[in-house]
Amino acid sequence: MDRHVEEILERQESFEEHAYRHADLIREMVSGDFSDAATLLAEADAHKIDLVRLFHHPDFPEIVRQFAIPTRTSPELSVHKHTRLQVPYWHRHDFFELVFVLRGQTIQRIEGADAPLRLGTGGACLVPPGTVHLMERAGAGDTVLKMSVPPTLFAKVGNPISQLLMDREFVLLDGSSARADYLACQLVRECAERPPHWGQAAASALSLLFVELSRDGGTTEPEIARQLACYLDRTGTKASLDGFAEHVGYSRRYVARLLRERCGHSFSELCLAHRMREARKLLLESDRPISSIAFDLGYSNPSGFYKRFEESCGMTPSVYRRLFSSS
């Protein structure tokens, strides 16, 4: 990923950080991004809930019971970074969404799926219109692109992928090639800067990207990622690379390399990401003191927890709880 693309994505990150501090900007974003914006804004006003809290509903049955599922809309091709401040919320689209991991990882949850979908560097996932899903928060080292592809455009350029998709709610793809990275970055530049004939250029790049992604015939989540998630859930703060290597029956060195290749992070980075997800969950689902949560997550000194959390989420634990807690 070249510096030019990094700058474009950094500007998107900065814009969302600014918008989250201003209710009028969030309302403006909702009005432009959702086909049912009027209903969503009316729900927020009627229940006296700010829009950030309205969207933060990680529990699917709860959002079905209280509110309609938000439907994102996009009349044209666009590419945006999944920023660190974006809250996980159940939603669907009236377009095809191609999620592409340039660096790091992302976790998707699909309605009715048995387990979350974990994508590492080079991983991609195509979600068709109508599929209800959410994306977990991005970490500081994650660069994840979300490409909005209107059905009319997909019908013209998506044939290689559509043969894999059929009636499935999603399809996982392998984009771990320099060519796929180049095409994804080209899409970022064309959609952000819109030079003359950008639409035709972007559609051509997207068509080539679909071809590149389809050549593996569709993939599943790396087995090593599922094994690590199960191991971390079971061992908590006692997790170690040696212990995980023994758990999967490989050598320590091989496991370390496999995690880096398949998940895009080292064992320690993946452990930290898991720990931060647990921290966010505990902050929102309990009123326990932050120092107590830090201790349970293996931090003997709360200041160390505060530092790691702020690096991961872009805000302190207390600000995160105040901003996103439904209580």
The domain locations on the chain are: 3-214, 223-324
Could you report the per-residue pLDDT of 243-281, keeping only the tens digit for each?
A: 999 988 888 998 898 888 777 778 998 898 888 888 888
Q: Quote the pLDDT of residue 326.
A: 56
Residue 296 Cα distances to 73, 270, 291, angstroms? 41, 18, 9
Cα-based angle 221, 169, 106 (whole degrees, multiple of 5): 40
Q: Quote the pLDDT of residue 120.
A: 80
- The residue with greater pLDDT, 7 or 88, is 7
Architecture of domain 223-324: Orthogonal Bundle (1.10)
Architecture of domain 3-214: Sandwich (2.60)
Q: Quote the pLDDT of residue 213.
A: 86
Could you report the per-residue pLDDT of 40-76, keeping only the tens digit for each?
A: 888 778 877 777 666 665 554 454 445 568 899 999 9
pLDDT grade for 220, boundaries at 50, 70 and 90: very low
Using an 8 Å Cβ cutoff, are 103 and 179 in contact? no
Residue 200 above 90 pLDDT?
yes
- Are 3-214 and 223-324 in the same CATH fold? no
Q: Which residues contact 314 (CB under 8 A, 6 or more apart)?
A: 17, 84, 85, 140
Average pLDDT for residues 118-141, to the nearest whole number?
Answer: 87
Site of tokens 């199960």:
230
Could you report the per-residue pLDDT of 224-242, keeping only the tens digit for each?
A: 777 888 899 889 889 999 9
By C-alpha distance, which of 177, 178, 169, 161 is closest to 217? 161
Q: Quote the pLDDT of residue 194.
A: 96
**Long-range contacts at 192-196 (CB < 8 A, ≥ 24 apart):** 192/8, 192/79, 193/8
Q: How far apart, in whole angstroms, are the C-alpha atoms of residue 100 and residue 121? A: 8
Average pLDDT for residues 163-186, to the nearest whole number?
Answer: 81
Q: What mean pLDDT is reported for the chain?
A: 85
Ramachandran angles phi, psi of 80, nearest 5°: -135, 150
Sequence letter at residue 147: M
pLDDT grade for 9, boundaries at 50, 70 and 90: very high
Site of tokens 């927020």:
44
Edge-first strand order for the sheet with 117-119 is 117-119, 106-110, 133-135
- pTM for this model (two decimals): 0.68
Residue 202 above 50 pLDDT?
yes
Using an 8 Å Cβ cutoff, are 100 and 184 in contact? yes
Could you report the per-residue pLDDT of 311-323, keeping only the tens digit for each?
A: 887 788 998 888 7
Secondary element (H or E) of residue 126: strand 123-127
3-state DSSP call for residue 24?
A: helix
